[in-house]
Amino acid sequence: MGDDKKASSAMGSRERDRELLIPGAEDPADDSDSKASASSSAAVHHHSGREAFYKVVRSWASKKFMTGCVILFPIAITFYITWWFIHFVDGFFSPIYAQLGINIFGLGFVTSILFIFLVGVFMSSWLGASVLSLGEWFIKRMPFVRHIYNASKQISAAISPDQNTQAFKEVAIIRHPRIGEYAFGFITSAVVLQSYSGEEELYCVYVPTNHLYIGDIFLVNAKDVIRPNLSVREGIVIIELVLLLFFRGKKKEKREKAYCQLFLIL
């Protein structure tokens, strides 16, 4: 009996070893589960690849669209302001022609330009200067109007081609209000500061704070003034462009006023 038990236990252990060494047939349920997991992983990879492709296409399309906007935006703004300015100037004399039964687009604009030219010719004469002086005498005695007229006249004098001594000499950049920060301004004059240590050349720099006719005056050492390669007219245009950005989103009347002011400078 003992020998039979030992023999049966030895045979059982050999069968277990054989099962471990030789794998049996796989279960059909396990095979179907593995196939399902493989197909789901392939679907996930396909979906992620499609999303990556869509992202690349969207990025490319958005870049090209923004490039088109950057190119067309200044052109559209130029045409819009030019068209608005023509209508604005044309509106001065076109109602007169409409009353006469003459409806020709642009005739009022041409008449306005011709009128401005004739005013310039007349004011350049002795009689025109006398009339202008008389008009200024009346305007300077008006309490509120005289301040507006003086500010507007200073701006006109800064860009007038007939002025031998312009209000703005050069465009300047100074350190203001703190170290590392800079302000955009205009050199109006130069002074010499005399002290016990010697003479120091100072520039009188006008820095606009809100509009072109509102600002502060600073006396800056000549060595601390940076002179960019810009003309006075270009500097004024930069200030006026900041004005246009300030009026963006404001009322239509204020935007049109800012556009008209920029066109008069240009």
Model pLDDT for residues 158-203, shown as the tens digit of each residue? 666 655 556 678 888 888 777 778 888 888 888 888 777 778 888 8
Distance in angstroms (rounded) separating the CA atoms of residues 54 and 56: 5
pLDDT above 70 covers what percent of the chain? 67
The full DSSP string for 208-240 is ESSSTTSEEEEEEEGGG-B--S--HHHHHHHHH
The DSSP output letter for 160 is: -
CATH architecture of the domain formed by 168-266: Roll (2.30)
- pTM for the full predicted model: 0.41
Q: What is the pLDDT of residue 195?
A: 76
How many other C-beta atoms can be found within 10 angstroms of the C-beta atom of residue 199?
8
Q: Beta partners for 218?
A: 205
| Tens-digit pLDDT profile for residues 43-92 | 656 667 777 778 888 888 888 888 888 888 888 888 888 888 888 888 88
Confidence class for position 33, pLDDT limits 50, 70, 90: low
Does 9 score more than 80 pLDDT? no
Q: Which residues pair with 206 in a beta bridge?
A: 186, 217
| pLDDT mean over 10-15 | 56
Q: What is the overall mean pLDDT for the chain?
A: 74
How far is Cα 93 from Cα 260, in angstroms, rounded to an integer?
A: 17
Tens of pLDDT, residues 105-123: 888 888 888 988 898 888 8
Q: In 3D, which of 36, 262, 50 has the Cα closest to residue 159?
A: 262
For the chain, how many residues are written? Answer: 266
Is the separation of the CB atoms in 92 and 112 below 8 Å? yes
Q: Between 41 and 27, where is the model more confident?
A: 41
* Angle at which helices 145-159 and 126-139 cross, to 10°: 140
| β-sheet with 198-208: strand ranges across | 170-175, 182-195, 198-208, 215-221
pLDDT digits (tens, 9 = 90+) for 212-256: 667 888 888 888 888 888 888 888 887 777 666 655 555 555 555
Task: Name residues whose C-beta falls within 8 Å of residue 169's C-beta, 6 or more positions apart in sequence.
Answer: 186, 187, 188, 189, 232
Task: Report d(CA 263, CA 86) in Å as an integer.
Answer: 11
Query: What are the DSSP calls for 165-208, one per residue?
Result: S-S--EEEEEE-SSTT-EEEEEEEEEEEEEETTEEEEEEEEEEE
Enter the tokens of residue 151: 């500010």
* CA-based end-to-end distance of the chain: 122
Q: Could you check whether the bond before residue 177 is cis, i.e. omega within 30 degrees of 0?
A: yes
Using alpha carbons, select from 164, 209, 163 the residue that is nearest to residue 186.
Answer: 209
